[in-house]
Amino acid sequence: MTEPTDGVLDDPARLLGSERAAVRAYIDASDGRRSVGREVFQQAEAVFGGAKVPRAEFASWLHFAAKALGHDAYAEAMAAAEPGMPWRTVWAWWRPAGTYVPHPNLTYLETLGLQTHNGRELLHTKAAWENTWLDLETGVQVPGPPEEATVELRSRYEVKSGQHLDDWRLSAPEAWAGARPLVGEDGRMRYLVADTCGLALLDTDPSVLRDWPRGGIDHESSEKGTPGRIPSFPAPTGPLSAERLDEAFAPVDVVRIPEHELPATLEHPASRAHLRDIGLPAWWACAWTTFEPCPAGKMTPPGEGALDRVALPDGLAAADLLTLGSSEHGELYLHRHEGGVHIVSDDHDLVQLSPDLGHFTRVLEGVRRHMEACWHPYPGEGGPSAFLDEMDALAPGTVDSDGPGGVMWSYFVAGITELNEDGF
């Protein structure tokens, strides 16, 4: 935990004894301050809403928020302050509200698989944009194990009647009602929550639940969202790196071209460095639009006559371009002297999409990071507007504009700005 800087929010015991409306008022009066406790409180209400619940249940909310945010010390302090929580979070691989991260994104989640490897139970999470293995006990991501027998999670853990989390009167998102009971060999009851936002393993205390009211999980509060402010976090800063792109585009590979394979006609130093050291996704998709970079050997000037009917900007010749890749909206070209990324518009004009490969790649990465939040935003979360604001800050008037380049970008990003995960 951090040094005390934020009043009642620094102390879980004091926070649990405070009126939540007063805490919100304090946050509003001290806008701009950041602390672990503030992040946890706002996150808890963003996920679970503003329902009035018993102190012990609110502690469960705060404990979950702390674990989802990676504030484990605060979570431990919360557990110590309230030992009577009806459920507590063992781990949470989860997208917190106000964050825009590429993983987890469990859109079109397939049946969860389980494999025992080296004495550990490994959870296979496969979805449209995921192919991730987690240690079931700790939630830590692990490399994919060798090809061995993988069984369905539900066939490994038998569900017994009367042991569902939905049996108790709780306030939580709808996914809590469908949480999968996992009965350990020691008889301990845990529950695996699966949602588009991620996965969470919950633990329960039989002595607490023995006296807890029954009646089912109410998810109305979480659907209404926070009565306060939605959490906000700064956008990623700093230069692009190979590690950052590998994380963002996984499970798709990132292609990097060795220096000796780059076309000699590419004279722009920054473009050469980007293709060599940073790379481009081997395949990228957003709804109906895809982008696939071409192999180094095909990074050549447009074929004879390819741009004869295209209006080129003054001072630019077809020989100044190299083919960068393909999309449903036409070939993309890289200016071999200046590094700009170009495409032919609907009006048969050659227009600039991005001033350089760095900007172009950041937009592709931005789509991946914002995808889950645009398709499944928390109540009050920015959704598409947050994505467009972030992209506009990279190069104002490039992506979110009515100009020719902005119109072409709109085709590439419509899958998250205008359409749902089904492309409609």
How would residue 91 be classed by pLDDT, with cut points 50, 70 and 90?
very high
Q: Give helix 242-249 / helix 357-375 axis angle, nearest 10°.
A: 30
Which one-letter amino acid corresponds to residue 33? R
Q: Where do we find the tokens 């089904």? A: 422
How would residue 171 be classed by pLDDT, with cut points 50, 70 and 90?
very high
Report the 10 Å Cβ neighbour count for 104: 23
Q: What are all long-range contacts of 75-82, with beta carbons under 8 Å and residues at least 24 apart?
A: 77/1, 77/12, 78/12, 78/16, 80/12, 81/12, 81/13, 81/16, 82/12, 82/16, 82/55, 82/56
**pLDDT computed for residue 374 by the predictor:** 97
**pLDDT computed for residue 230 by the predictor:** 94
**pLDDT computed for residue 1 by the predictor:** 46
pLDDT in tens, 204-221: 988 999 999 999 999 999
How would residue 148 be classed by pLDDT, with cut points 50, 70 and 90?
low
Which residues sit opposite 332 in a β-bridge?
325, 343
Compute the distance between CA of residue 150 and CA of residue 127 in angstroms, rounded to an integer. Answer: 16
* CB contact set of 263 (below 8 Å; sequence gap of 6+): 296, 299, 300, 322, 336
Is pLDDT above 70 for 245? yes
Is pLDDT above 90 for 278? yes
Compute the distance between CA of residue 54 and CA of residue 17 in angstroms, rounded to an integer. Answer: 11
Count how many residues are written for the chain: 424
Q: Answer for the pair 67, 40: CB distance below 8 angstroms, yes or no.
A: no
Average pLDDT over residues 255-284: 98
Rounded to the nearest integer, the mean pLDDT of the chain is 94
